């Protein structure tokens, strides 16, 4: 069958030539395991526990400590059909509406169908979700959901509670090896081209430090998001898209990277930047909080039938447009009418965080503005988490399973991680991959100077953020190309991170430039409408000479 014709085929703007390997010192140590899991959030730790139940020895590699990362900051909860009056079909319909025609129906079906069992698994591990006095689970609503199906913990501390339970379970298992403060560099492959482990760099003193390798039968990427390619993000400082960059260098396909979701209500404070923006959970709007402009008007009323509970892209765009019109850096979230008891009991994290910063939600409106929050795209996988590289799997935000389409439905992210972490373990248990012999990587490329990180973030925010156009994206591409020439003579963690940041930013810019329409969380000001010709997926890969190639897969 001939390749599908892309609706728009003019060449991409010039972008940096990207390395196929990171330049690094020769490995000084190696260890062996069955499966190497990269990342220690809900996807990584759940996958590790499921793999142990399947009889595998597991090594978990994490860039920071095992309990750092994005999961513990998740406030809202996990979406699943747990109310007898709710149905998987209703959950699927809400997911597909948010995804604006690009959700994979099969991925949606397995997620909403298997989701309740994965919640039960978390409860069995010891996760303590909030309950009513009669013992039943408390369920709430969030944007885009037409039913109460969000389970939560500690009011608005769901991620922290899930991370606590998973962390405790992992530490109880002596056959899960944990390597903290380690940055994964590149995929190792065997003579067959199958994943055979990873090279990594451990920070610190002792026998096992510096550049080494973990050889394994399979590798699972659960590295989280890529929000740090922007100046303002709810993601922690380590979320720079390491997994996407590694997969691209390894020859894997990434898909839907243009769909970066901006959370509409990150706490706005002057001077915050370069780290995680405090998040004001969507659940507070689910309980009745209002968005207002500087005139006091509820600008979401009349903009969408669900008003403040519209899908996140709709709210983020409306807030950004209102900020532009008023010349203001933020809008207001008004929760005062919810009352002191509701705010302190249901939203203790939001309330205490705001008060620490001099804002009391009981009497003050909260300044909020959109910030990069979640990538609906990532490393392309099938329904069992398999990527286009044999033996390489991906789960969580690093993956593109097809569930989210053009825009993630609120609280579907933790659910997706749980469901596909189980499916990866099931697939590996059935396949029982044989170990291969890792071969020395071929070729090395330059690494970016550490001074490139802030300019990359500035260029992406200016031209590839909430609002995009052909001219803004071409300006971003020009800036990234110039930064690609700013190389460092010393390979080390900061230069590897800058190189990954440049790789991911270039891929997002390429995808956003290609898609000449507005759909979901991708908003092109010069193409403001969704177009039927663009009903499909853009995939990217790195060619042998370091250029980004794009392919088009229409939806029949």
Residue spans per domain, the chain: 267-371, 452-548
Q: Has 312 been annotated as catalytic? A: yes
Q: Identify the CA nearest to 473 among candidates 489, 460, 488, 490.
A: 460
First vs last C-alpha separation in the chain: 14
Contact (CB, 8 A) for 245 and 296: no
Cα pseudo-dihedral 183, 184, 186, 190, rounded to 10: 150
- Sign of torsion over alpha carbons 69, 74, 79, 80: positive
Q: For the domain bounded by 452-548, which CATH number is listed?
A: 1.20.58.100
Task: Map 244-279 to HEC letters.
Answer: HHHHHHCCCCEECCCCEEEEEEEECCCCCCCCECCE
Give the pLDDT of the chain (556 residues) as one tens digit per residue. Answer: 345 788 887 889 999 999 999 988 877 889 999 999 999 999 999 999 999 999 999 999 999 877 665 555 566 689 999 999 999 999 999 999 999 999 999 999 999 999 999 999 999 999 999 999 999 999 988 878 999 999 999 876 788 899 999 999 999 999 999 999 999 999 999 999 999 999 999 876 444 567 899 999 999 999 999 999 998 888 888 899 999 999 999 999 999 999 999 988 999 877 544 456 788 888 899 899 999 999 999 999 999 999 998 877 789 889 988 998 999 989 999 999 999 999 999 899 899 989 998 999 999 999 998 999 999 999 999 999 999 999 999 999 999 999 999 999 989 999 999 999 999 999 999 999 988 888 866 657 778 988 999 999 999 988 999 889 999 999 999 999 999 988 877 888 889 999 999 999 999 999 999 999 999 999 999 999 999 999 999 999 999 899 999 999 999 7
Contact (CB, 8 A) for 92 and 81: no
Which positions ≥6 away from 410 have C-beta within 8 Å? 76, 79, 142, 143, 144, 145, 150, 282, 312
Element (H, E) at 341: helix 340-346
CATH architecture of the domain covering 267-371: Alpha-Beta Complex (3.90)
Q: Identify the CA nearest to 266 among candidates 296, 242, 230, 302.
A: 230
* Residue indicated by tokens 């969580």: 396
Query: Looking at the whole model, is its pTM more than 0.75?
Result: yes
Strand order through the sheet with 30-32: 30-32, 210-215, 195-202, 182-189
Cα(530)–Cα(81) distance, integer angstroms: 30
Instruction: Please give the radius of gyration of the chain, using alpha carbons only, rounded to the nearest integer.
Output: 22
Cα(326)–Cα(295) distance, integer angstroms: 9
Residue of 217, 312, 346, 515 with catalytic role? 312
Tokens found for residue 15: 């972008």
């Amino acid at each position: 069958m001939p390749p599908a014709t892309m609706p728009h085929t003019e060449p991409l703007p010039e972008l940096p030539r990207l390395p196929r390997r990171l330049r690094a010192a020769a490995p000084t140590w190696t260890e062996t395991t069955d499966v190497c899991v990269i990342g220690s959030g809900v996807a990584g730790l759940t996958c590790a526990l499921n793999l142990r139940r399947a009889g595998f020895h597991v090594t978990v590699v994490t860039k920071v400590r095992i309990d750092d990362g994005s999961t513990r900051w998740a406030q809202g909860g996990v979406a699943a059909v747990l109310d007898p009056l709710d149905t998987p079909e209703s959950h699927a319909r809400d997911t597909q509406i948010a995804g604006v025609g690009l959700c994979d129906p099969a991925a949606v079906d397995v997620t909403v169908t298997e989701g309740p069992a994965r919640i039960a698994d978390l409860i069995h591990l010891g996760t303590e979700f909030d309950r009513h006095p009669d013992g039943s689970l408390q369920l709430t609503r969030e944007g885009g959901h037409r039913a109460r199906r969000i389970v939560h913990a500690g009011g608005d501390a769901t991620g922290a509670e899930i991370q606590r339970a998973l962390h405790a379970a992992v530490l109880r298992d002596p056959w899960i090896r944990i390597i903290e403060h380690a940055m994964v560099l590149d995929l190792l492959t065997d003579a067959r081209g199958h994943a055979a482990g990873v090279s990594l760099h451990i920070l610190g003193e002792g026998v096992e430090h510096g550049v080494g390798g973990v050889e394994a039968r399979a590798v699972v990427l659960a590295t989280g998001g890529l929000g740090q390619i922007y100046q303002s993000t709810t993601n922690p400082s380590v979320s720079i898209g390491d997994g996407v960059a590694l997969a691209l260098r390894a020859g894997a396909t990434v898909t839907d990277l243009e769909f970066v979701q901006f959370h509409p209500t990150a706490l706005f404070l002057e001077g915050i930047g370069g780290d995680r923006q405090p998040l004001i959970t969507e659940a507070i709007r689910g309980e009745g909080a209002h968005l207002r402009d500087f005139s006091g008007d509820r600008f979401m009323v009349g903009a969408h039938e669900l008003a403040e509970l519209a899908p996140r892209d709709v709210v983020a765009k409306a807030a950004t447009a209102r900020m532009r019109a008023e010349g203001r850096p933020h809008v207001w979230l008004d929760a005062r009418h919810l009352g002191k008891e509701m705010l302190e009991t249901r939203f203790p994290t939001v309330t205490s965080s705001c008060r620490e910063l001099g804002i009391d939600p009981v009497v003050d409106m909260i300044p909020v503005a959109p910030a990069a929050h979640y990538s609906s795209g990532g490393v392309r996988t099938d329904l069992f988490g398999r990527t286009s590289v044999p033996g390489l799997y991906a789960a969580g935000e690093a993956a593109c399973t097809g569930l989210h389409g053009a825009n993630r439905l609120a609280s579907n992210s933790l659910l997706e991680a749980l469901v596909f972490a189980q499916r990866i373990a099931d697939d590996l248990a059935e396949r029982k991959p044989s170990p291969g012999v890792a071969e020395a990587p071929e070729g090395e490329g330059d690494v970016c100077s550490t001074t490139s990180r802030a300019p990359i973030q500035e260029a992406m925010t200016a031209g590839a953020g909430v609002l995009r156009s052909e001219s803004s994206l071409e300006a971003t591409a020009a800036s990234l190309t110039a930064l690609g020439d700013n190389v460092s003579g010393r390979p080390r963690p900061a230069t590897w991170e800058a190189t990954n940041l440049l790789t991911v930013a270039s891929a997002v810019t390429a995808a956003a430039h290609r898609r000449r329409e507005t759909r979901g969380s991708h908003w092109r000001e010069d193409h403001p409408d969704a177009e039927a010709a663009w009903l499909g997926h853009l995939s990217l890969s790195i060619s042998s000479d370091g250029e980004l190639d794009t392919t088009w897969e229409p939806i029949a």
